[in-house]
Structures are given as structure tokens and as C-alpha cells.
Amino acid sequence: MVLLQISEPGRSPDPHHHRRAVGIDLGTTNSLVATVRSGSPVTLANDRGEHLLPSVVRYLSGGVEVGKTALEHAVDDPLNTLISVKRYMGRGVEDIARLGKQLPYELAAGKPGMVRFRTVSGDVSPVQVSAEILRTLAERAEASLGGSLDGAVITVPAYFDDAQRQATKDAAMLAGIKVLRLLSEPTAAAVAYGLDQGDEGVIAVYDLGGGTFDISVLRFSRGIFEVLATGGDSALGGDDLDRCIAEWIADQAGLSTDLAPALQRNLLRVACRAKEQLSESDEVALSVEDWSGRLDREILYSLVDPLIDKTLRACRRTLRDAGVETADVVNVVLVGGSTRMPRIRQQVAAMFAREPLASIDPDRVVAIGAARQADVLVGNKPGDEMLLLDVIPLSLGLETMGGLMEKIIHRNTTIPVSKAQEFTTFRDGQTAMAIHVLQGERELISNCRSLARFELRGIPPMTAGVAKVRVSFQVDADGLLNVSAREVNSGVETGIQVKPSYGLDDGEISRMLQDSFAHAREDMKLRALKEQQVEADRLIEDLAAALTRDGERLLSEAEYHCLEVALSELRKYRQDCEDYRELQRHIESVANASETFAALRMDDAVSRALSGHRLEEFEGRQ
């Protein structure tokens, strides 16, 4: 007899076999790969001892270059050297059309879906470019670990939506990498510090990179890591600190505001170097063109403090979203190269009333956390029960009658999550239902983002309102959405995996959230008006049909005329009225006026049903 060896999913059949798993930080500027060796997470270097891989790909007529070699040609071959493509992951041509003149790339025109760049090797998408970066990191890991990889955890920004996460998974698939999990960057940073092994409590992750700022609030409780809320500013980063210093230098040197590109780059280099030197010194000497001067810490602080204050305001907003106070935060984690600046650490410490964790290189901390999680998921640490939970950045829902957004899963809901809601048909005999999946915080679908559309067909003909269509939303641990619809009485069912061709960046998500707050009162009034308009449409359609069918037979001429006038006035108010309360009063007035007619129709229906039968027949059936 042959015995089959069976092992738990995710566990090695050989308990002594160490599986090769890595964590990958697919960054905008630089990317890294890390693994766990002898129980300790480490980042992996290339054969030159370099850990950071510039996220740059250069396309040649006979191949590609990735990393530092590609970056060296950014100036002399800009059309074929693609930098910071993470910003375009999951984004459509329309989204960046307004940026076209600022991009040193030639966009492929006339192609729907995700943006594509024209190179000497042909048109390439951000997914393909990211795949080249991931493939290079995977090859580095395989060379270092001595064999093919069993899986990887890849990190994504907390703000990445469904389309952007899916684009990241597609890039990994092109690179031949098995994705164990997509993990949000702030969660990975918390894991890197081993906070999952410490005391339970609230953790804040302050992430200031070169171009963006993210703040995430997490809670660790009973072995579960949960992201409570995320926020930030997509238009604020370390580059902005450099620019404000460069502008001060230009002003001191009496330089024109319309500077040549080469001089602008030189000013930024001088500003960045001065910022770094002031981390160790109280004062630095500056020299630009024919001007020489000095910059001290006091002046530096006056320049950068307004920008740092903006990040702290975002922190306070996110804490409010999470429903926690500053005093509830037990640990603060710093991520991003800009957090090396002592002034930032000082201000963050003052706000949270505790020293932030900064002992791990802020450029490597995310990859290290991802490596720890990969080691667990691949089965090398069977006793580790660490569970990481993220949240969705924007609400998910459906379009209902009147163009309204009905939210099924609200923003900042922990994932994975599954929720369902029942809907019904609008018209008698309706055999199909169009389902429109949306994302956003506004009340009208015109202000939300369309994710997908599909149809449920085969609903048995029934009276309006009798059918029960249960629509289920399932968001998995990677933040990917599946929607299904089932008519409860008949069992007919259909569904869709939501895979939009392009998604939202963190700036668009922030804008949508800000718009929802700014227009909250206006949106609620519009929603109420739309709901009353739908109710008016329903009453108008039902009453008109009833009058056509039974009005002349059951009503006197005066009664018939009275209801016709009421119906005509309701149609007029439905079109012209902008006050939902006024429209509601007219709906109630017409409904009350038609009550006698409805009762007559009910009596008539009962009489015709009983016609030709004796009471004894019904008594005998009891």
C-alpha cells in the first residue's frame, strides 16, 4: 500500500526543511528584498554589496537595465529610462494627461486602461516595469539563498486601492514570484520592530518619504495586528523640505525665480546636503554661483517647521478617525529616509509625548517587516500566530434608484471582510437587475468612482418588491474585491471579481475624503431629494397604471378627475421641486387621496376571487 504524505496548507512536508521566503519593499525611489536568516531578518545585497536597488528601468533595443546602471542614463536617455513608475501603477491615461508635459516620457496614445510608455523596446505599462524590478530582486534573493523562492510578501502603500493592489500582484506574476500576501507598508514597519511580540496597544507609524507622507494607526491585541485608520498628505515629502531650503538660498543669492533646469538641480543638491549636514552641525557654509553664505539650525527650523506641522495635523486627524487619543499611543515607528532629520524626530516625540522607534534604518524597515511575515506565512515558524489586518481606504457600495450610492462596506473597515445586503425589484415582472459597484464617500454616484458593472438575469417575474436579491461583498486579505448577487427565492446567482484597469492614487483618495467632509450637508440634502424622487416615481407609475386599469370602472367621474389632477401635480413637483420636505408632503397628499381607490380595488379583487364559491367550500378546507 502506498502512503500519501499530507501536510497542512502553507507548511513544508519536511519539518526540517527551511523554505525560502522573502519580503519585498517595492518602493517609488528604491526597492529592497529581505529574508530571515538564523531567526534574524536581514536585507540582501547584490554582488557589489549594495542593498538599495533604485526603482529605475532602462529599455534598450536588445534588453533592459535595472537599478543603478539604468539610473545613470536618466539624463542622456530619458524617454527609455523609467523612474518612479509606482506612481502610475493602476492609473489610466486620463489620470495623468494633465501631467504629460512634465513627464520626460512619451505616452502611448489611444489605448484604454492603464497608462503605457513608449520605448525602443515597444510600449510598456507600469506593471511590466515593476515586474523587471521585482525580477531583479528575486534573482538577487535566489542567488543569495541558493535556490528558487517558495514565496514572497510584497508591501504596498496603505492607500493603494483594489486596482493598484491587483496591478502589484500582476507584476509579481510576470516576474515569476509567488505572492504569499500583499502587506501594507506601515504594518510591515510595525512588524519589523517586533511590536507583535510586545505589549498590546495602539501604534502610530509616521512615514515621510521623498514625495509623500503617510500616517497609520494600528492596534495590536490578542495576537492580531489591525490597521485602525490611515491618512496623510500625498503632496508633502522630503523633497518639499529641500525645495523650501533651495528657495531660501535662491532668495539670499538674489537669483531669478525663473532658473535654468541645471541650476535648479544644483540648488536642490546644495539644499539637501545642507539639511543633512545640519543633522550633525549647528551651522553650514553654502556656495551657489557667485554667492556664499551660511545656514544655521534656527533658520532651518523656521523654514521646515510649517511643513512638519502639516504632517502633525494629519496625524491628529487620523487619530480622530481611529477613535483614539494621543495618550493611547504606546509606540511610534518612523519610516522613510526623511525621518532621519533630528527636527522631525524632535517634533514627533513632542506630539506623542514619547521617543519614536528609529533604531532600524528607515529605508530598510518595511522590507524587514515583510520578511518576518513571509517567514511565518511560508511555514518556517509554525508556532507563530501573528495575524495582520488592514483596512479599506474608501467605502464600497452599489448604485440604487435615483443614482444614489448605497454603502455596503464603509471606509476603514478591517479586511478581510464579507458583508451582504438585500435589494428588491422596482417594477412588476422585472427579470433582470443591473448591478453597479462603486467606491467613494459621496452620496451620489456621479461623485464616486465606478469599479465594475454586471447583471443578474433569470429572476422569475414577480410583483415589484417581492424578489429578494442578496448582494454580497467580499474583500480578501490582499484588499481585492469579489461581488456576487443571488435571488433568494429562485437561487439564480452571478458574480464578478472586481479588477479595474486602473485605480486611484493616494492623492485622489485624500481628495475624495476631503470632498465628502466638505459637501456632507449638501450631499445629505441631495440624497434625501433623490430618495423622495424615487418614491414619487414609484407612486406615479403605480397610480397611473391602476387608473388605466380600474379607474373608470370603480370611481365616479369626479373622483377619477380628482386623482388625475393630483397625479398631474405630483409629476410637476417631481420635476421642479428642489426641497425634499416639500416633495415628501406632496407624495403623502397623493397617497392619502388615493387610499379610497386602493381600498375599492382590494375589495373588488377579493369579490372576484370569491365569485362562484360558497362559504362552506372554504370552511371545508380548513
Instruction: Give the catalytic positions in this structure.
Output: 25, 86, 185, 207
511-517, long-range: CB < 8 A, 24+ apart: 512/394, 512/440, 512/441, 512/442, 512/449, 513/394, 513/411, 513/441, 515/441, 515/442, 515/447, 516/440, 516/441, 516/442
Q: Give the sheet arrangement for strand 201-208, strand by strand.
A: 329-335, 201-208, 213-221, 224-233, 387-391, 414-415
Tell me if residue 159 falls in helix, strand or coil.
coil
Q: Give the sheet arrangement for strand 81-83, strand by strand.
A: 63-66, 56-60, 81-83
Tallying the residues shown for the chain, one arrives at 622
Compute the Cα dihedral for 402, 403, 404, 409 and give only its sign. positive
Pairing outcome for strands 151-156 and 179-184: parallel
End-to-end CA distance of the chain: 65
Question: Which DSSP state fits 50?
Answer: -
Residues 6+ apart with CB under 8 A from 370: 22, 23, 24, 25, 34, 153, 154, 155, 183, 188, 191
Burial class (CB in 10 A: 0-12, 13-18, 19+), 396: buried
Measured N-to-C along each axis, helices 185-192 and 365-377 cross at an angle, to the nearest 10 degrees, of 80
Pairing outcome for strands 117-119 and 106-107: antiparallel
Beta strands in 277-384 (DSSP E): 283-288, 291-296, 329-335
Q: How far is CA 546 from CA 329, 594, 602, 603, in A?
A: 63, 10, 11, 14
**Cα–Cα–Cα angle for 323, 161, 471, rounded to 5 degrees:** 85
DSSP string over 166-203: HHHHHHHHHTT--EEEEEEHHHHHHHHTTGGGS--EEE
